[in-house]
Structure 1
């Protein structure tokens, strides 16, 4: 019998969630738009030196929540503080399970005091929607799915402009004066006669740097006119249009880990949610990849501290997982770091994947610029002969000047300049994923940085 939900898929896999996900046929997350406008190297460089414009209208899922209980719903589901949240506010929403383990995150937009939009991969949106339906909240939920799984047109366009000259471009394209918008707040203006709402946030670099960014939304049908106005205004400032190859590499530079394994695949408390999630959802096809093979799916779960979200935890309200997080607060945690891969080792891996040499097995190809070959990449990291954590979300950017990844590293090794070794490629020749060629594993040296990587 064909499985209709995640719980049935796990049952059909004999309860072997790790094996099911490691052999899931899905590749990495889809970015279904033009791969390049010029070339991905120049498009990457633009967000560091001039400005880049990305069309985010297709790949993310938007979930709308409207009703008198909307703030209570998110306050009781998320680790964040919602005391002052409402219209024209935004935040990085994070949800955890009853044991304090990460379930999902996304950007939460306060469209109005009683209407929020949660935007991202869809994992957090699914979780909060389930809580809305089962928790007795007076909230209406509407899904606007990513284009690859959406039979209908999207409701809005979503454009991101990023870089030192980003605001200059928008100011020139604006029909009137561009309002000052505080970081992680929203403001309104018009371009080409179209009403725009924009969030001030950065996709690369860190807040307060010159990597300014605005995420702009408006009615879908007006998208082409607004895009054209921004492109025309940007000619003077060296604006580049960014494609689907460069786009996912922005997360490496800013340090956002899009796909930690959500803590939903085990435990009786999540059984109802697994039955709720359809067999065609991302969670039911959450392909795992990499050299790190752990015995239980629980071993892949992370806490907010492990991925840099400890600062978002507020114990001033009741929420799912609050008591567990209180108990975990004083315990050791892994730390999110950046891992700069050694260029010479990368060159050897690339050569051995492309050029067959006598007696030399083929290594797993380092795809450029985005290196991950499944939804959630997890590679083992060693400090000498001691396990040190995992490498996740890897890519190459010209701004870093080599391949790099985000690491979830044990605290004793999470120090600037520490040299670690990651194992690249899967054991036993690779899994059954169609995108994984038969290969041998290789070692790549990687240097720890506790701050974002740049060539400077």
Structure 2
């Protein structure tokens, strides 16, 4: 049991995790990319559709390594994914669920060797896997290389994301050799500026599944400057830009990745041991909740993998934590992930009234990202009834409007369907420092089932 743990934090706050998280004052995640903007966030967004962009991912993600003869069995036991063909130089979007089949977390899983994997991303999924590694019958060693802001040591690796239609040409030019084709979600090995590197083919900003959109390049930290300089120099003739902390989070909105759903861990006797394992000052204890959706029951914030569009990775070819419950969920109704395009006129009204309404206008809408907590849920209505939840609103020049990723009732997940999003959070006035005096307002939104082309 951790000295001060999540369960104790819940108990000390009055025993209601929803109230605990909605009263947490933390604002949105601040990406520790060295510069907020390198050009400007509009051009940085535009260039990933027209040429290429380089994002330095060396700072903000946790890298958690799992090594040992039982590594594959561990991940198979706690993940919804199939591991029948997984191994060295393979990768996948790993998804974990609770015993009730509810979403806990996801991260990119890298197969570094046959018995060595790395989970890279937010720490939620890695915490869950590590808990099982330490409490179960597994011969697995866990090593954590935390995000820079909570890590007193130098990171082990550099990590550069090159995205856009010219991305592979940029990387090929930097390597000085013709690159062998790297299949989607496969890891290739080559050299840049004499440094051996690995590169994962996956997309951050295009339609998932398109193989031309980019590579995530990683290697030993001590060679970071040499590799980055070579990539930037190679990108010059293609018009590549470096991306800053403002444009980086908006990539998820275009690719359709819901970055921070609330993990379904705060209730249930079967998860009490896990809550006692988690620290009382960790992410899960301070996952600040905000938005127009307000409930006193934390379980109203829980989602399933199907709500989030992860049905494509669920495989019932193996036993795993939550399998039986997830099979029942799969057989029933679920919501669908969609993009909600904000009406331009309503967007203008929100922005204008928030600045000139004298406290009687709408909640301020930041650009390019409008969220004001770590986890953001807005109400989505149809004919006045709740039909879904919307996450952080964001603007990109490629969408040409403000867009919220959302999960809505399946029958309403139709292109062109008109719905209403409630913008604002009157319940957080006086509670969260980023929430000023305002009035909640309704925004007309249009459903899109695919990302902007």
Query: Taking structure 1 as the reference length, what is the TM-score of the superposition?
Result: 0.97
CA distance in 2, matches of 1:429, 1:271: 28
**4+ residue runs over 6 A deviation:** none
Give the match for residue 414 of structure 2: 415
Contact 1:290–1:425 (Cα < 8 Å) also in 2: yes
Give matches, 1:171-250, under 5 Å.
171-209=172-210, 212-250=213-251
Give the match for residue 369 of structure 1: 368
Contact 1:37–1:242 (Cα < 8 Å) also in 2: yes
Give the match for residue 119 of structure 1: 120
Q: How far apart are residue 431 of structure 1 and its match?
A: 5.5
The alignment partner of 1:306 has SS state of: coil
What is the alpha-carbon root mean square deviation over aligned residues? 1.4
CA distance in 1, matches of 2:142, 2:429: 41
1:316 and 2:321 aligned: no
Give the match for residue 442 of structure 2: 443
Give the match for residue 388 of structure 2: 389
When structure 1 is superposed on structure 2, of 242-251 and 423-432 the one drifting more is: 423-432
Give the match for residue 268 of structure 2: 267
Give the match for residue 38 of structure 2: 37
Q: How far apart are residue 208 of structure 1 and its match?
A: 4.7
Q: 1:219 to 1:32 in 2, by over 3 A?
A: same
Give the match for residue 290 of structure 2: 289
The alignment partner of 2:133 has SS state of: helix
CA distance in 2, matches of 1:210, 1:366: 34
CA distance in 2, matches of 1:81, 1:356: 53
Q: How far apart are residue 103 of structure 1 and its match?
A: 0.6
Give the match for residue 22 of structure 1: 22
Contact 2:250–2:368 (Cα < 8 Å) also in 1: yes
Give the match for residue 63 of structure 1: 64
The alignment partner of 1:26 has SS state of: coil
Give the match for residue 333 of structure 2: 332
1:97-133, Cα deviation, whole Å (9 max, x unpaired): 1000001100000000000000011100111001100
CA distance in 1, matches of 2:209, 2:316: 27
1:192-228, Cα deviation, whole Å (9 max, x unpaired): 1111100000001224547511000011121111111
The alignment partner of 2:320 has SS state of: coil
CA distance in 2, matches of 1:29, 1:321: 30
CA distance in 2, matches of 1:212, 1:179: 16
Give matches, 1:28-107, under 5 Å.
28-33=28-33, 34-107=35-108
Give the match for residue 405 of structure 1: 404
Contact 2:19–2:296 (Cα < 8 Å) also in 1: no
Give the match for residue 9 of structure 1: 9
Q: How far apart are residue 4 of structure 1 and its match?
A: 1.7
1:343-399, Cα deviation, whole Å (9 max, x unpaired): 110111101111246xx7032111111111111110001112221111113211000
Q: How far apart are residue 258 of structure 1 and its match?
A: 1.1
CA distance in 1, matches of 2:15, 2:430: 18
CA distance in 2, matches of 1:245, 1:148: 18
Contact 2:360–2:437 (Cα < 8 Å) also in 1: no
Give the match for residue 139 of structure 2: 138
Contact 1:175–1:193 (Cα < 8 Å) also in 2: no
CA distance in 2, matches of 1:355, 1:222: 50
When structure 1 is superposed on structure 2, of 9-18 and 56-65 the one drifting more is: 9-18
When structure 1 is superposed on structure 2, of 384-393 and 43-52 the one drifting more is: 384-393
When structure 1 is superposed on structure 2, of 64-73 and 272-281 the one drifting more is: 272-281
Contact 2:64–2:118 (Cα < 8 Å) also in 1: yes
CA distance in 2, matches of 1:236, 1:164: 14
CA distance in 2, matches of 1:257, 1:428: 24
